[in-house]
């Protein structure tokens, strides 16, 4: 990628939430290797995003001087929104942030080379067009979900029913496996909800971008990428896997020291994302399942969600393990297991030689992290597009197996134990882990110098040059 102006800056705008911010920061790091300066716009959420971002932003700023952060002022007021989905509240925040984004963009001199939006931030696409700045979509999920999301307006037009009314009826989308209608993302299940309307709007605007950056690599999802290449869409650039962290150890977390004492590929890691919360009853069932499985485990436990109305957007307190877990569980399992409160360095844990399996909520970042570590997965989806990711992971990529009963009110301890043993001891589990190791090789090959990611970044740079030149001409300026 050749910069066409001195001091070229690309502006990135992630939606609130650690998962989206982490991916956007990794994208920023990729761009800095091409000689670009990056400014990341931060909108402060008024709802629970699962983790605080201030310490993360501070550490990125210190270690990456070419990346700066600009905190947008909060909107003067936010209208009440009856939707139970945080996506609807995010849409309100992001839509009302447009005046601040416009003010920031017009104050930049020279104008930014491009604006790259998280797909939740599509409401700012018209701001970029207003000031004639190239605008690209960064899709933090994979190609299977991108293909499904692009098809969303078509699905909407084919019925007057909500997906939740269709139950387990299969939704057919060319290029991806059939998806049970009730596996569509939670905010898309009710067509009358504000979150649904916002996502429908975003899907309809995808063709208006100058290009699409997607966090995947071709070898992982060739079928949907081939289908989309034949459609009338903006150019698609596969720039993944973008995951946080390096291959080398950086953490001094106690759990890493514990893993150092465990046999190779013997530990099952259970972690469900920053917003993955279980009821107290479900936590006890998981504990029972791990105990009867006889397997070594590292389990990240978070407090259950609040049962108080209106508190669903507030982060839960630190878990009290003595109250939440069965009496004596930690003591009885201390020779084989470790329970961690609220957080563990997931990338580092997955890459540890002692880890041989991963029970995951199927967030896309977590899926990519497991693939890059070569760790087989048991999928237990909880929110967002995770049920769809499970379908893609099991049926399309063949890199995981479902935790049976995840659609029920309670997954039994017996099922947890059965699935963990299946992954770690059965011949089928061994075959799954071997497939994941092959996917790991493909992921690493994608990231090599001169490999697919380098090629796509080069093509993206050429596109950005061409669009920027055209828009500069329209502005009546010339590129130095």
Report the number of distinct structural domains present in the chain: 2
Does 183 reside within a domain? yes
Question: Considering the entire predicted model, what is its pTM?
Answer: 0.92
Long-range contacts at 190-195 (CB < 8 A, ≥ 24 apart): 190/162, 190/164, 191/156, 191/161, 191/162, 191/163, 192/162, 193/83, 193/85, 193/88, 194/81, 194/82, 194/83, 194/85, 194/88, 194/91, 195/83, 195/85, 195/87, 195/88, 195/91
Same domain (yes/no): 471, 424: no
How many other β-carbons are positioned within 10 Å of the β-carbon of residue 474? 9
205 with 275, same domain: the answer is: no
Q: What is the DSSP letter of 394?
A: I
Which band of pLDDT confidence, cut at 50, 70 and 90, is reported for residue 44?
confident
CATH code of the domain in which 322 resides? 3.40.50.2000
What's the pLDDT at 308? Answer: 58
Residues making up the chain, counted from first to last? 480
- Structure tokens, 199: 């996502």
**187 and 45, same domain (yes or no):** yes
Kindly state whether residue 184 falls inside one of the protein's structural domains. Answer: yes
Q: What pLDDT does 48 receive? A: 65
Q: Clarify whether residues 216 and 351 are in a common domain.
A: no
User: DSSP secondary structure string, 92-114?
Assistant: HHHHHTHHHHHHHHHH-SSPPSE
Task: Flag whether 245 is in a domain.
Answer: no
Residue 323 pLDDT grade (very low, low, confident, very high; cuts 50, 70, 90): very high
In a domain, 432, yes or no: yes
Rounded Cα distance, 139 and 18, in Å: 15
Distance CA 61, CA 59 (A): 5
Residue 372 lies in a domain: yes
The four Cα atoms 431, 437, 442, 445 give a dihedral, to 10 degrees, of -160
Task: Tell me: pLDDT of 247 over 60.
Answer: no
pLDDT digits (tens, 9 = 90+) for 333-366: 999 999 999 999 999 999 999 999 999 999 999 9
Q: What is the overall mean pLDDT for the chain? A: 91
pLDDT tier at 8 (50, 70, 90 boundaries)? confident
**Distance between CA atoms of residues 13 and 125, nearest Å:** 11
Whether 19 and 107 map to the same domain: the answer is: yes
Residue 79 sits in which domain range? 9-240+449-475
pLDDT recorded at residue 314: 59
């Amino acid at each position: 990628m050749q910069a066409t102006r001195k001091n070229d800056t690309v502006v990135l705008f992630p939606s609130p939430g650690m998962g989206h911010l982490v991916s956007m920061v990794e994208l920023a790091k990729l761009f800095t290797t091409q000689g670009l300066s990056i400014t990341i716009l931060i909108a402060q959420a008024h709802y629970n995003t699962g983790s605080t971002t201030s310490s993360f932003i501070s550490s990125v700023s210190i270690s990456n001087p070419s990346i700066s952060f600009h905190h947008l002022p909060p909107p003067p007021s936010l209208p009440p929104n009856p939707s139970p989905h945080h996506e609807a509240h995010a849409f309100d925040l992001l839509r009302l942030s447009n005046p601040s984004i416009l003010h920031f963009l017009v104050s930049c001199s020279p104008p930014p080379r491009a604006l790259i939006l998280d797909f939740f931030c599509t409401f700012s696409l018209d701001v970029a067009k207003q000031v004639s700045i190239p605008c690209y979509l960064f899709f933090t999920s994979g190609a299977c979900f991108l293909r499904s999301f692009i098809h969303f307006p078509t699905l909407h037009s084919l019925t007057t029913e909500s997906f939740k009314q269709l139950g387990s009826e299969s939704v057919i989308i060319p290029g991806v496996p059939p998806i049970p209608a009730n596996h569509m993302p939670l905010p898309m299940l009710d067509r009358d909800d504000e979150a649904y309307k916002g996502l429908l709007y975003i899907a309809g605007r995808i063709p208006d971008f100058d290009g699409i950056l997607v966090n995947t690599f071709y070898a992982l999802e060739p079928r949907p990428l081939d289908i989309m290449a034949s459609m009338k869409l903006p150019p698609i650039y596969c720039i993944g896997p973008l995951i946080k962290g390096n291959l080398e150890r950086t953490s001094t977390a106690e759990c890493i020291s514990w893993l150092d004492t465990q046999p190779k590929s013997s530990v099952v890691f259970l972690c469900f994302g920053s917003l993955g919360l279980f009821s107290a009853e479900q936590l006890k069932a998981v504990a029972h399942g791990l105990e009867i499985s006889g397997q070594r485990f590292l389990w990240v436990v978070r407090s259950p969600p609040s049962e108080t109305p209106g508190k669903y957007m507030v982060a839960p307190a630190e878990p009290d393990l003595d109250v939440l877990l069965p009496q004596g569980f930690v003591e009885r399992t201390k020779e084989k297991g470790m329970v961690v409160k609220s957080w563990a360095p997931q990338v580092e844990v997955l890459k540890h030689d002692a880890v041989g399996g991963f029970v995951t909520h199927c967030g896309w970042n977590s899926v990519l992290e497991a693939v890059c570590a070569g760790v087989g997965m048991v999928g237990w989806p909880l929110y967002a597009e995770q049920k769809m990711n499970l379908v893609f992971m099991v049926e399309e990529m063949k890199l995981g197996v479902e935790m049976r009963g995840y659609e029920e009110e309670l997954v039994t301890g017996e099922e947890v134990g059965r699935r963990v043993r299946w992954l770690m001891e059965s011949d089928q589990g061994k075959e799954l882990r071997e497939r994941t190791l092959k996917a790991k090789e493909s992921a690493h090959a994608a990231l090599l110098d001169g490999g697919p990611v380098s090629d796509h970044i080069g093509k993206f740079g050429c596109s950005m040059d061409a669009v920027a030149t055209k828009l500069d001409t329209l502005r009546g300026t010339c590129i130095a």
